[in-house]
Amino acid sequence: MPTMPDPNPSTTVPDRYDAQVIEKKWFERWAGDDTLYQAESNSSKKKYYVLEMLPYPSGVLHMGHVRNYAIGDVLARYMWMNGYNVLHPMGWDAFGLPAENAAIKNNTPPRDWTLANIANMKAQFKRLGFAFDWQREVTTCLPEYYRWNQWFFLKMYERGLVYRKNSRVNWCPECATVLANEQVVGGCCWRHETTPVFQKELEQWFVRTTSYSDELLRDLDKLGGWPEKVRTMQRNWIGRSEGAVVDFKLEDLTPGRPAGPAGGTITVFTTRVDTIYGATSVQLAPQHPIVGDMTSADSALKAKVDQLIAEQRSAREAGDIGAIEKHGVPTGRFAINPFNGERVPVWVANYILMDYGTGAIMSVPAHDERDHEFAKKYGLEIRQVIRPSAESGSTGVDSQKIDVEDVSFTTLDGVLENSGLFSGLTCNDALARMAAHAEKNGFGKPTVTYRLRDWGISRQRYWGTPIPMLYCEKDGIVPVPEQDLPVILPENVDITLTGGSPLSRVPEFLNTTCPKCGGPARRETDTMDTFVDSSWYFYRYTDAKNDKAPFDSAVANYWFPIDQYIGGVEHAILHLIYSRFWTKFMRDIGLVKNDEPVERLFSQGMVIKDGAKMSKNLGNIVSPDEMVARFGADAARMYSLFAAPPDRDMDWQETGVEGVQRFLGRAYRYVMRNAQPQHADWRKPVPDDLSPEARALQRKLHQTIKRVSDDFQGRWHFNTCVAAIMELMNAMYAAEGKRDDKGEDKAVAAKIPIAFLADAQRKVVLLLAPFAPYLAHELWEVLGEQGNLLRAPWPKYDAALAKEDEVEIAVQINGKVRSRIVVPVDSPEEYVKDVALADEKVRAAIAGKQVVQIRVIPGRLVNIVVK
Ligand SMILES: [Zn+2]
Ligand SMILES: [Zn+2]
């Protein structure tokens, strides 16, 4: 076999590290063993459920995937080695729009495209050596999975948790079809770049997620194992605000003129009803039904409102609705403030959102920053009704003289004025009293509002779970009976045609019989949002082949909650809110016992290249296949853990992968040279009376085991773990330098006993096992080990052996010994100084004095001069 030059000139190279040959050998062995990564049933071991978010089968894995799955895999292997019963499954989030787009582009049925992609990505996963239990594979686009989506839908329907209501969708008049938000590009259709997309009202199915708003919010406090950032994002998303609703009656234009279909009452939501005497206008969302009434007879107003809607939509597309430049239009109408009977103008504004609160606010420019900005812009009256309380620092200032510009907009630390019979109350008192007053007089009440909305799950698309509902002329909406599930998604549907839901063009799907009356009925042709699929998939892994139920409760109760869930922070809101909701629903119908699905959550950073996110446009995509072909799977995975702490973004650098590959080569050559499983001493216990050289190496070995183990338990800085193993390998090479190449390791044997050499190599291979499984398995065999490395016990460190040798040093102050400190031998001077100055007796002796000089005489003395 050819040899490669070795960086260490004092040794020869017995063999070359050929990752491809080694990895092929083990790949083939592993391929033949389905039980390798299987979780045990009825195990007496402690369980550990580690899960990475399932990928969308786009066709190929990218480096971000490799990193995500490398983190989970290293953890799964570590927990197996620590004696846990580990569940580490994988599956496919296989429904969704890209399959339909690909179908339209390449004329391939979505199912074929998806299944081919899955086959390809599964092969990539296997080549990378990820330890997934493929017996439990879940593919969400197959009927054996999605039938349970339908089953859950029916269970929710029975309990009033799904309902139908009118809702807006994006509509392309050219396509005559509904567009997903991603298909709206700059306000136009993705296929018709100059055709503006309209909003159209359609009846759609909703899941009542809001019935769990309070619990979803409250239980965030239980999720101590989640990143604070994610909990905050969820808290904001649920967006609970306490406040009041107050009815402002629309003033009739001509007395007695009836209101429009939306009625004559504008209900505003406010968190600051105490400022209502300062309300100088009412602001409506452009989509507010009353605005619809006003514009139906006023085309000039309609044009202006349409403009506001367009502005709102582009701000939403830009992703920052909060930063919208505020615009409004007066409607010319007035509404009556029920507290003081005052007429206030009614405006329509682009920053008022129909999906928050009631879609209407009272504008109080003196005490709300946003209202203030708006009032300044349009010249609306600014009227102060709160003055800072005497205690709040503005003592003695006559309220009349306060410039409203100086009033803190949001303070609750004030006293009401110009507020009728409520003047003189503190804000906090007024909030409660004024809400009660509104309730008593029938024009409002205290309320709690949430930003969280019910979940619209209808999609007018083909590639999704059919919604199991029927429409009968006689019986109306009829659920598909449970025993008739699954409602199979038909194949061979031409989805390139435009005009409505693709399923509505499949007569054999559409037309059916009503289970109630036996008459003709038609099926719901919408499919479910793919977030339904991912809301409960991790339960299915526990019992993936069950055809009687979504899963067996007892089995799920053993595995849940998930001990560690790993995925991108882009899923911090929707996926994790929906799956938390789903768990609470499953608990309430008696399927599971846990309140929350995930005990600990980890969000890894992104993989970037040359400072930018990898993308086709930038041409900076690194292909995992290419990395594996050039450097091996072990090097690619290990580098993705080594390059940065897993929660940070990592910049992919090829020289870094090369470096990791070189290190693996060093480890390989070391073991190839030093493995002597036939030696008589090979399995003997490590002797106690080691030479100083051997003792130093032993200390390093145990320190490394401690460091790696601690990191797995704590902060997960796998980059420093890998660096520590590299340092250990350097120390082993340095000790090997004393070897006599001609004789059969006589010199090594003299300084480092074979029993210890064997022990050290076994432990290094065990440390490498989670990070570089192919190489570790190869070396395990070279060391003469027979057992399954995946279940070999993780090495234990001996705290006494890991401890540095220590020395006692006297501390002199102005020539007198005042204390003695204990520090590791060869401690750096700065460290010894710090320890000396932190010593209690020393601190007492120098208290109040000035340290003029500190000198360290290594191993002997610290001399401090004070005056
Ligand atoms: Zn179109
Ligand atoms: Zn019927």
Q: Identify the pLDDT of residue 256.
A: 59
Segment 149-171 mean pLDDT: 94
175 Cα–ligand 1 center, Å: 4
Higher pLDDT pick, 453 / 116: 116
Whether residue 598 is predicted with pLDDT greater than 90 in this model: the reply is yes
Which ligand neighbours the alpha carbon of 189 most closely? 1
Whether residue 532 is predicted with pLDDT greater than 80 in this model: the reply is yes
Which ligand neighbours the alpha carbon of 518 most closely? 2
Whether residue 195 is predicted with pLDDT greater than 90 in this model: the reply is no
CB under 5 Å of ion ligand 2: residues: 472, 474-475, 514, 516-517, 519
Helices and strands in the chain, H and E counts: 26, 34
Which ligand neighbours the alpha carbon of 193 most closely? 1
519 Cα–ligand 2 center, Å: 6
Higher pLDDT pick, 400 / 288: 288
Q: Identify the pLDDT of residue 231.
A: 96
**Token pair for 849:** 């004095």
Segment 694-719 mean pLDDT: 92
Q: How many C-alpha atoms does 867 have within 13 Å on its Cβ side?
A: 2
475 Cα–ligand 2 center, Å: 4
Q: Identify the pLDDT of residue 685.
A: 95
Whose tokens are 């929906």? That residue is 578
Segment 197-212 mean pLDDT: 91
DSSP codes of every residue in 321-344: GGGPPP-EEEEEEEEEETTTTEEE
460 Cα–ligand 2 center, Å: 24
pLDDT band at 410 (very low <50, low <70, confident <90, very high): low
> CA dist 860 to 806, 822, 825, 840, Å?
12, 11, 11, 19
56 Cα–ligand 1 center, Å: 25
* pLDDT tens-digit map of 94-111: 998 888 888 888 888 999
Residues 6+ apart with CB under 8 A from 570: none
342 Cα–ligand 1 center, Å: 49
Orientation of helix 654-674 relative to helix 633-642, angle to 10°: 120
Which of 185-199, 293-307, 655-669 has the weakest average pLDDT?
185-199
* pLDDT tens-digit map of 413-460: 789 999 999 999 999 999 999 999 999 999 999 999 888 889 989 988
95 burial class (0-12, 13-18, 19+ CB within 10 angstroms)? buried
301 Cα–ligand 1 center, Å: 28
Q: Where are the beta strands (DSSP E) in 310-413?
A: 328-337, 342-349, 360-363, 386-388
505 Cα–ligand 2 center, Å: 22
Which of 170-179, 634-643, 655-664 has the weakest average pLDDT?
170-179
Which ligand neighbours the alpha carbon of 171 most closely? 1
Highest averaged pLDDT of the listed ranges 155-164, 233-242, 296-305: 155-164
Q: Cα Rg for the chain, rounded, in angstroms?
A: 35
693 Cα–ligand 1 center, Å: 76
Whether residue 686 is predicted with pLDDT greater than 60 in this model: the reply is yes
Cα–Cα distance, 610 to 604 (Å, whole number): 19
Which ligand neighbours the alpha carbon of 479 most closely? 2
pLDDT band at 297 (very low <50, low <70, confident <90, very high): confident
Whether residue 412 is predicted with pLDDT greater than 80 in this model: the reply is no
Which of 114-123, 637-646, 717-726, 746-755 has the weakest average pLDDT?
746-755
Which ligand neighbours the alpha carbon of 499 most closely? 1
pLDDT band at 208 (very low <50, low <70, confident <90, very high): very high
Cα–Cα distance, 399 to 396 (Å, whole number): 9
pLDDT band at 173 (very low <50, low <70, confident <90, very high): confident
Segment 820-836 mean pLDDT: 87
173 Cα–ligand 1 center, Å: 7
105 Cα–ligand 1 center, Å: 15
* pLDDT tens-digit map of 773-803: 999 999 999 999 998 999 999 999 999 888 8
Q: Identify the pLDDT of residue 740.
A: 44
Residues 6+ apart with CB under 8 A from 22: 632, 774, 775, 778
Which ligand neighbours the alpha carbon of 172 most closely? 1
Which ligand neighbours the alpha carbon of 198 most closely? 1
Higher pLDDT pick, 345 / 830: 345
Q: Identify the pLDDT of residue 400.
A: 39
**8-state DSSP, 155:** H
Does 110 sit behind a cis peptide bond, omega within 30 degrees of 0 on the bond before it?
A: no
Whether residue 399 is predicted with pLDDT greater than 50 in this model: the reply is no
Residues 6+ apart with CB under 8 A from 100: 110, 461, 462, 463, 495
Q: Identify the pLDDT of residue 174.
A: 82
Residues 6+ apart with CB under 8 A from 744: none
**8-state DSSP, 110:** H
465 Cα–ligand 2 center, Å: 23
Helix (H) or strand (E) segment spanning residue 729:
helix 718-736
Which ligand neighbours the alpha carbon of 177 most closely? 1
399 Cα–ligand 1 center, Å: 60
561 Cα–ligand 2 center, Å: 42
Which ligand neighbours the alpha carbon of 188 most closely? 1
366 Cα–ligand 2 center, Å: 59
Which ligand neighbours the alpha carbon of 478 most closely? 2
* pLDDT tens-digit map of 369-381: 889 999 999 999 9
Looking at the chain, the whole-number percentage of residues with pLDDT higher than 70 is: 93
Helix (H) or strand (E) segment spanning residue 246:
strand 241-250
Q: Identify the pLDDT of residue 394.
A: 42
177 Cα–ligand 1 center, Å: 7
Which of 41-50, 170-179, 452-461, 514-523 has the weakest average pLDDT?
170-179
201 Cα–ligand 2 center, Å: 26
* pLDDT tens-digit map of 553-593: 999 999 999 999 999 988 888 899 999 999 999 999 999 99
pLDDT band at 397 (very low <50, low <70, confident <90, very high): very low
501 Cα–ligand 1 center, Å: 14
Whether residue 251 is predicted with pLDDT greater than 80 in this model: the reply is yes
166 Cα–ligand 1 center, Å: 22
597 Cα–ligand 1 center, Å: 40
Q: Identify the pLDDT of residue 401.
A: 39
* pLDDT tens-digit map of 121-146: 999 999 999 999 999 999 999 999 99
Residues 6+ apart with CB under 8 A from 105: none
Whether residue 62 is predicted with pLDDT greater than 50 in this model: the reply is yes
837 Cα–ligand 1 center, Å: 75
Cα–Cα distance, 727 to 722 (Å, whole number): 9
Whether residue 748 is predicted with pLDDT greater than 70 in this model: the reply is no
- Cβ–Cβ contacts within 10 Å for residue 830, how many? 9
Which ligand neighbours the alpha carbon of 196 most closely? 1
176 Cα–ligand 1 center, Å: 7
Whether residue 346 is predicted with pLDDT greater than 90 in this model: the reply is yes
478 Cα–ligand 2 center, Å: 8
158 Cα–ligand 2 center, Å: 18
515 Cα–ligand 2 center, Å: 7
Q: Identify the pLDDT of residue 15.
A: 67
> CA dist 608 to 65, 271, 633, 643, Å?
12, 43, 19, 11
pLDDT band at 168 (very low <50, low <70, confident <90, very high): confident
Whether residue 257 is predicted with pLDDT greater than 70 in this model: the reply is no
Segment 299-323 mean pLDDT: 84
Which ligand neighbours the alpha carbon of 515 most closely? 2
Cα–Cα distance, 301 to 332 (Å, whole number): 10
Cα–Cα distance, 92 to 140 (Å, whole number): 6
Let me know: does 73 contact 125? Beta carbons within 8 Å: no
Which ligand neighbours the alpha carbon of 475 most closely? 2
Which ligand neighbours the alpha carbon of 516 most closely? 2
Does 597 sit behind a cis peptide bond, omega within 30 degrees of 0 on the bond before it?
A: no
Average of per-residue pLDDT values in the chain = 89
101 Cα–ligand 1 center, Å: 13
Which ligand neighbours the alpha carbon of 514 most closely? 2
Q: Identify the pLDDT of residue 42.
A: 86
Which of 121-125, 607-611, 683-687, 720-724 has the weakest average pLDDT?
607-611
Burial 720-750 (b: 16+ CB within 10 A, else e): ebbebbbebbebbbebbeebeeeeebeebbe
pLDDT band at 6 (very low <50, low <70, confident <90, very high): very low
Which ligand neighbours the alpha carbon of 173 most closely? 1
Which ligand neighbours the alpha carbon of 477 most closely? 2
Q: Identify the pLDDT of residue 255.
A: 62
- The letter for the amino acid at 664 is L
CA angle 197/203/204 to nearest 5° reads: 90
Q: Identify the pLDDT of residue 134.
A: 96
Cα–Cα distance, 564 to 53 (Å, whole number): 11
Closest CA to 517 of 466, 577, 472: 472
476 Cα–ligand 2 center, Å: 7
Q: Identify the pLDDT of residue 1.
A: 36
